[in-house]
Amino acid sequence: MEKRFKYYRLALYTYSLASMMEIMLGGNFKEEYISGIKDEIVKLSGSYRELFEKSSLYLEKLGGLAVEANVLKGIGTAGKAVGKFIGSIPLVKEGPVDEFLQDSGTHLKKNAIGMEKQAVHQFAALNNSGTHIFVNKMEDMIQIYNHTDRICFDDKQIYLVAN
């Protein structure tokens, strides 16, 4: 699911960039035109966020059902059990094999839990579509090209004087 969201986010970001370039290269700076494109990007970003939230909730519910993690937990539990069994054999319990298997089993179970947490954390990093920068720049274009009467500047800043 993480890979699909990466592609989804990339497609949304690319669409936003292309829309921004269309405005810039086309030279159509009318407020209605820019607002229409900006609103479409905001709507698509909202859809991304909604789907991401639903997917996050699904992943949290799924948490303990991850295949790789459960396999490692099972192997870890089996290793501990085999270690205890070997430790109960009178002649073998003097050797380090049983302790090694029990320790390895415990270590594998801890790794499995860590894998679950890491997967959720990596997925959570995809929550932001990254399109806000384009929306902000489009709002700036609307302000500059449609609501600015004069532009003044000094040695440190540029000032836009509104109508």
Question: Tens of pLDDT along 76-134?
Answer: 555 555 455 555 555 445 555 445 545 655 665 566 566 666 766 777 778 888 999 99
Let me know whether 85 and 46 are in one domain.
Answer: no
Let me know whether 60 and 70 are in one domain.
Answer: no
HSE-CB for 16 with a 13 A CA cutoff: 23
Structural domain for 85, as ranges: 66-123
Which pLDDT does position 145 carry in this prediction? 92
Which pLDDT does position 33 carry in this prediction? 97
Does the pTM surpass 0.75? The reply is no
Let me know whether 50 and 82 are in one domain.
Answer: no
The answer to whether residue 67 scores a pLDDT higher than 50 is no
Let me know whether 44 and 85 are in one domain.
Answer: no
Let me know whether 117 and 142 are in one domain.
Answer: no
Which pLDDT does position 96 carry in this prediction? 54
Q: Where are the beta strands (DSSP E) in the chain?
A: 148-153, 158-162
At position 159, the amino acid (one-letter code) is Y
Which pLDDT does position 108 carry in this prediction? 56
The pLDDT tens digits for 119-147 are: 667 777 788 889 999 999 999 999 999 99
Which pLDDT does position 62 carry in this prediction? 73
How distant is the alpha carbon of residue 124 from its chain centre?
Answer: 4
Let me know whether 60 and 71 are in one domain.
Answer: no
Number of domains in the chain: 2
Let me know whether 112 and 159 are in one domain.
Answer: no
Mean pLDDT of 61-77: 55
Q: Is 51 in a helix, a strand, or coil?
A: helix
Let me know whether 32 and 78 are in one domain.
Answer: no
Let me know whether 34 and 18 are in one domain.
Answer: yes
Which of 33-47, 52-66, 74-88 shows the highest mean pLDDT? 33-47
**Average pLDDT, rounded, for the chain:** 78
Contacts of 119 (CB under 8 A, 6+ apart): 2, 59, 66
Let me know whether 60 and 5 are in one domain.
Answer: yes
Query: Given pLDDT bands bounded at 50, 70 and 90, which one contains residue 2?
Result: confident
Let me know whether 150 and 114 are in one domain.
Answer: no
